Amino acid sequence: MSKIFRDKTLGGSSKRHNININIDFQVPMPMQPVEHLPSPFGAPNLSDSELRETAYEILVGACRSSGTRPLTYIPQSEKPERAPTVRPSASLQRSLTSSAASRVKKALGLKTKRRVAAVGGGRGSESVSQGRVKKAVTTGELMRVQMRVSEQTDSRIRRALLRVAAGQLGRRMESMVLPLELLQQFRSPDFPNQLEYEAWQRRNLKVLEAGLLVHPHLPLEKTNTTAQQLRQIIRGALEKPIETGKHSESIQVLRGVVMSLACRSFDGSTSETCHWADGFPLNLRLYQVLLEACFDINEETTIIEEVDEVLELIKKTWAILGLNQMLHDLCFSWVLFQHYVVTGQVEIDLLFASNNLLIEIEKDAKAITDPVHSEVLSSTLSLILGWAEKRLLAYCDTFHSGNIESMQSVVSLGVLSAKILVEDISHEYHKKRKEINVTRERVETYIRSSLSTAFAQKREKMNSGKRISKNQNSSLPALSILAQDVSELALNEKEIFSPILKSWHPLASGVAVATLHSCYGNELKQYITGISELTPDAVQVLRAADTLEKDLVQIAVEDAVDSDDGGKSIIQEMPPYEAEAVMANLVKSWIKTRVDRLKEWTDRNLQQEVWNPQANKERFAPSAVEVLKIIDETLEAFFLLPIPMHPVLLRELMTGFDRCLQHYILKTKSGCGGRSTYIPSMPALTRCSTGSKFHGVFKKKEKSQITQKRKSQVETRNGDNSFGIPQLCVRVNTLQQIRTELGVLEKRMIAHLENTECTLTESIANGTGKKFELSKAACGEGIQQLCEAMAYKIIFHDLSHILWDGLYVGEVSSSRIDPFLQELEQYLEIVSSTVHDRVRTRVITDIMKASFDGFLLILLAGGPSRAFTQHDSEIIEEDFKFLTELFWSNGDGLPADLINKFSTTVKSILALLHTDTESLIEQFRRMILEIYSSSAKSKLPLPPTSAQWDPTEPNTILRVLCYRNDEMAAKFLKKTYNLPKKL
């Protein structure tokens, strides 16, 4: 741009969004509230009209000084009818043309309008109409009208300058102090009235004060007496007007003082150039007034078409005002910017033109060495930057799709101003220039500030809405709504603002979403610390947060595709919300709460459970029904949770259920005993008396004591009625029911998983593997233990008075098995009618095994009250046959092969009872020798009691001999082991 104003030939054009600047039609921008901008050039003690008149005087003087034609003055009384009042200089006389488009406008990016030229606005305004010219219009005349200077004032100025030129031939305007010269040329009679004269005199004195005392070109020392003298003269003249004119003594005194101050130089010598209007910032304020003439006085947003000629005139004042191209660009940029602001921010071209001039200023600013110039530049740019940043730090509020075109120029203004201030003026920057990217840093600040502000507004709206709708039903929690709002903000940013900001920051979208991610993350963090359990609202909030985070990360990734680090720096700014992890922890807490509640309920109800067979038709415990119902309801509630990780967390829920059911099962079988609980301890080995059957070997008193001792061992475990046979059947049924329901629960669980958001393959892999392991195993073990306990309780406890105390006591023929079978049959009927179909065979099989064990215990460890001859074996075999037939029940009972399987051992023992004593002793000796070899030759060792009865095992044969009512057996046992006859 500097070349544009340095050269008379303008070339090139400014680029602007690829928009043709010659388009006449433009959609009008909505007018913004008018703002007041303080001037960066200070506020001298001069009114706007005084500044305009002074600036106009300087302009006319500068143009006449630079002109080639002599100044001539034609008095008003002598001028022809159509002649102008004063013959202007060449530069002022130049005619206005509209044949060519303004090269300045083209260079600045301003539209050129085709219009009828109109010049007016002052008391002496004239106009130019189509095809008819009332009066020749020159550039000088246009400037007079634009600056609202009357013809009378203009005539007086020109007349005075003509006189000055006539009296000081060859002197240039720079070597004069124009206000002083004007004061010397006119007296009171030259004005229409005294008031106008006094106002004119005061203005010129104030100009001298401003230029020589307040804003001098060279700083004044406080001890400067000339300055003090001038101050006194001006103060006195302002109170009482002085006499002016060429021969006025007051003016001569004033001239001496003024010229002394105006001709000072840095080296102390007297300068030929007078410095009275080139002190900062007075010179810029006067120049600003001149540049404002570039705006049409009838249309404040429009630059006149004659701006090229007008600027050419204005630039002639540089010598007087002490300006250069950079200061011109700065002042013109400010004027364009100020007009854009004070006219309601309607004409975007003005902002764009101001920005184009700033680009040129940036180039020139690097060469600035004058601290005063730097200060002026800094103050001007600071005002522009302040205005721009007021909008950019909250650009979401300032800009929208209707005015987004202006955003690019505002951002450019802000960034350029900041860049010049930091890079070209700031000394700190030069120390750290490798660390700072001013443009990127500023734009990032705008993005973060604007998005933070927008988020805060959304949050405030959310909070106020929450207060309003406190007593109303709201379908979505506040943070879920906020997540939706943030997502809309992010998309709006991506579509509207980021494409513009990306010109200055390659990761504009990424910075925006990272800011939103952080803002929402802070709110989410506070929310999470306040929730301790999973609620529908919590789930909705966490799912909304997870969805939002995925959207924001996606935008950031897309934005960073072409960046150097692939967006790594932005992604690092977005620590995961871990909403799924939080949700998982809350679900785990939810699971733990319900599992703990189930366990407490189980303990409480098991304490009250009586295992009553009549409690329900299925004959299992009501407490189990409730436990299974709670599990089913909890499972249903779990799958109703709107979470995406059902299969992952289902394993934890199933583990909790599994442990609760295992606890219930263990409690169910607890205290019921087992096989070892009811089998009586074996009596010590004895031998039979020769030829004796009963004969007082086992007295009733001794029998009663032994029986009482054995009964007390089981009664201590079975004093509670809840362990009766019907109750044990209910316990078995309960475990069987639980085992059945586990399968139902598993099928229901798979059905739920099929309806979740995950695929079935993943669901089965994660959720249904190894389910209810503990419960299934505990059910199997519990049923086995309870069936066995029930069987041995019946045989060895409930029927012990018949079996243990009665069977084969004394004479075998008179104490046979019939009474035992009658009682056992009744128990079998109770069990068959109570126990579940699926475990009935198992229970009866266990009873059969227990009865076989009892039968063998009578034969091999029945105590001294029993003794058997070889002939008794036939009766015993027949009794065992009756026992097996009871379980076969003519084909309606247990299968024959099952009975045969478990009766094998009994039959092998019966075979030993058929064997004669001598053969038994021989078999026994042979087995002992085989086991103990040479150590058994001198004395046969006593074999230990075996775990299982076995005809091939020496302890079993020894026991047959102990209960053989035979003299040979008794002698052998006496001689070999010295066994007693009774306990």
Whether the predicted pLDDT of 497 surpasses 90: yes
Q: Is 556 in the same domain as 681?
A: no
Q: Is 748 in the same domain as 849?
A: yes
Lowest mean pLDDT among 279-293, 676-690, 823-837: 676-690
Q: Which two tokens stand for residue 93?
A: 């006389």
Q: Is 695 in the same domain as 790?
A: yes
Specify the higher pLDDT residue, 119 or 501. Answer: 501
Whether the predicted pLDDT of 99 surpasses 70: no
Q: What is the pLDDT of residue 83?
A: 37
Are residues 418 and 438 in contact, defined by beta-carbon separation less than 8 angstroms? Answer: yes
Average pLDDT for 761-787: 76
Q: Is 482 in the same domain as 399?
A: no
Average pLDDT for 150-175: 86
Q: Is 294 in the same domain as 312?
A: yes
The band of 526, judged by pLDDT with boundaries at 50, 70 and 90, is very high
Q: What is the pLDDT of residue 946?
A: 80
The band of 204, judged by pLDDT with boundaries at 50, 70 and 90, is very high
pLDDT in tens, 168-180: 766 788 889 999 9
Q: What is the pLDDT of residue 707?
A: 46
Q: Is 19 in the same domain as 92?
A: yes
The number of folded domains in the chain is 3
Q: What is the pLDDT of residue 310?
A: 94
**Bridge partners, residue 596, by sequence:** none
Specify the higher pLDDT residue, 277 or 69. Answer: 277
Are residues 208 and 177 in contact, defined by beta-carbon separation less than 8 angstroms? Answer: yes
Q: Is 557 in the same domain as 678?
A: no
Lowest mean pLDDT among 182-186, 214-218, 402-406, 753-757: 753-757
Judged by DSSP in three states, 504 sits in coil
Residue (of 360, 368, 359, 357) closest to 425 by Cα position? 368
Task: For the chain, give the mean pLDDT.
Answer: 83
Whether the predicted pLDDT of 428 surpasses 80: no
Q: What is the pLDDT of residue 536?
A: 84
Q: Is 453 in the same domain as 428?
A: no
Question: Distance between CA 276 and CA 706 in Å, rounded?
Answer: 141
Question: Distance between CA 108 and CA 71 in Å, rounded?
Answer: 36
Are residues 91 and 66 in contact, defined by beta-carbon separation less than 8 angstroms? Answer: yes
Q: What is the pLDDT of residue 102?
A: 80
Whether the predicted pLDDT of 858 surpasses 60: yes
Residue 469 lies in a domain: yes
Residue 163 lies in a domain: yes
Q: What is the pLDDT of residue 718?
A: 44
Q: What is the pLDDT of residue 433?
A: 52
Whether the predicted pLDDT of 821 surpasses 90: yes
Average pLDDT for 836-848: 93
Region class of 890: left (phi > 0), else alpha (psi between -120 and 50), else beta: left
Structural domain containing residue 383: 1-176+274-436
Q: Where are the alpha helices (DSSP H) in 495-644?
A: 498-501, 508-529, 536-559, 568-572, 579-608, 622-640
Q: What is the pLDDT of residue 367?
A: 84
Q: Is 131 in the same domain as 3?
A: yes
Q: Is 291 in the same domain as 367?
A: yes
pLDDT in tens, 576-621: 998 888 888 888 888 999 999 999 999 888 888 889 888 888 888 9
Residue 742 lies in a domain: yes
Whether the predicted pLDDT of 90 surpasses 90: no
Q: What is the pLDDT of residue 936?
A: 61
Whether the predicted pLDDT of 651 surpasses 90: no
CB atoms within 10 A of CB 14: 18
Domain end (from 861, 889, 924): 861
Q: What is the pLDDT of residue 545?
A: 93
Q: Is 387 in the same domain as 493?
A: no
Lowest mean pLDDT among 165-174, 278-287, 375-384, 856-865: 165-174
Residue 506 lies in a domain: yes
Q: Is 290 in the same domain as 431?
A: yes
Residue 895 lies in a domain: no
Residue 489 lies in a domain: yes
Question: Distance between CA 687 and CA 981 in Å, rounded?
Answer: 5
Average pLDDT for 867-873: 92
pLDDT in tens, 876-908: 999 999 999 999 998 889 999 999 999 999 999
Whether the predicted pLDDT of 331 surpasses 90: yes
Q: What is the pLDDT of residue 450?
A: 95
